[in-house]
Amino acid sequence: MQFGLLIVAYMLATLLTRRLMPVIEKALTPKAEATHIVVRLRRFALQFLPLLLPLLAYALTAVGEGLTRAAFGSGEVIAFGKRIFLFLAALELVRRILPPGLLKLMGRYILLPVMALNALGVLDDVTAYLDAAQVNLGEIRFTALGLIRGVIAGALLFWLGSWSNRQSAGYIKAQPDLRPATRELAIKASEIAIFGAAFLLLMSIMGIDLTAVAVIGGALGVGIGLGLQQIAANFVSGIILLLEGQTTVGDYVELDGGEKGTIVKMTARACVLETFDGKWIVVPNEHFITSRVVNYSDQGSANRYEAEFSVTYETDINIVPDLIERAVSKLPFVLQSPEGPDCELRGFGESSVNFAVEYWVSGIDDGKNKYGSAVLFAIWNALKEAGIQMPYPHRIVELRNGAT
């Protein structure tokens, strides 16, 4: 009779699956262009449709087991069949649903063996044996079952933590109202909170006394702190940089050590500078706190530069400033605000009159934006058109007493 109930449950589950599958699939399938969070959840739920048949068979078999035990006080055969359907559901989950990687690996080598032991009815005996085997590490005690459970839970928790961290980081980066430094700090804070909670939860699952862990962690913290003071200093400096926001991603900076470039990444330990020729320079955060830092920009602010040139002493120097200012003003990248080009007389040299023209541009003359070269060309062309010569050194050699 129990075998008959198993067959009836499977046939009824097959019939219900054929009827329900198109309805559920139609209800859960969203429009292709939709991207709302509810739509993503519906697409996620669609992946589990292959489990419909074994889970329906399991549920119907469970109902049959309850009726059989209530009527006859026996139901071992139908209970075995129920566990078989649960094993088939786990098999479908591993084969067709779990993505390649850690989850599929755990499903294949952990979930399926556990479901097989459960189907054979020996899972409780194996669990009791592992729970009786105790492992001692000083003041920390845990069972073999706790260790296995911890490995499984740890892998799942940290996989889930990595996924949650990616989701939270993507959400924070998408907030346009936050400054880049604030976004980086929020991302780091969420990462620490997620993995810290995962670690504490793992310790609780493994049954480890957190008091003993705190004592050992304190001792290790003192030792690590003495040996890794520089890393700790860089970490604290990184937090200060992110909180202050005076130096952030996108700024062009120059340090006392000569390193200069655009900040493309800020981490807990260091900042990454990209030079105009594409090289990356990793600068520890401590250097931004303890040394002088020249910040040339704040996401595209105006900067002033100057170009020096000279003319001969035969030149009417009174016409030079207006001539050069007009020539430089015609360049498309030169700004008229906060101030237009300003040509100044700098001094009288050995064989030349020295000038310099100051000009403002929006950006950094870092090699990619070659403002200086274009300005010098404009100065040269303007002087040539006006017939003004640039000097070169002259030397007078005297020959005395007819000596050669």
Q: pLDDT tens for residues 58-90? A: 888 888 777 777 777 777 777 788 888 888 888
Which residue type is seen at 40?
Answer: R
Q: To the nearest 10°, report the CA torsion of 190, 192, 195, 197.
A: -80
Burial of 47-69, coded b for 16+ CB within 10 Å and e otherwise, reads eebbbbbbbbbbebbbebbeebe
Q: What is the mean pLDDT of the chain?
A: 80
The pLDDT score that the predictor gives to residue 393 is 74
* Strands annotated E in 95-240: 134-137, 140-143
The pLDDT score that the predictor gives to residue 187 is 75
pLDDT of 291-350, one tens digit each? 888 887 655 578 889 999 999 999 999 999 999 999 999 999 999 888 899 999 999 988
Stretch 20-30: mean pLDDT = 83
Whether the per-residue pLDDT at 17 is higher than 70: the answer is yes
Helix, strand, or coil (residue 179):
coil
The pLDDT score that the predictor gives to residue 209 is 61
Helix, strand, or coil (residue 273):
strand
pLDDT of 367-378, one tens digit each? 666 788 999 999
The pLDDT score that the predictor gives to residue 141 is 66
Q: Which of 39-53, 102-116, 320-334 has the highest mean pLDDT?
A: 320-334
- Fold topology of 249-295: SH3 type barrels. (2.30.30)
| Domain chopping of the chain, boundaries | 2-121, 145-227, 249-295, 302-385
* Strands annotated E in 246-313: 252-255, 260-266, 270-274, 280-284, 293-295, 302-311
Distance of CA 273 to the CA centre of its chain: 17
Stretch 356-363: mean pLDDT = 90
pLDDT of 185-225, one tens digit each? 677 777 777 777 777 777 776 666 666 566 666 666 666 56
Stretch 260-281: mean pLDDT = 83
Q: So what's the architecture of 302-385 in CATH?
A: 2-Layer Sandwich (3.30)
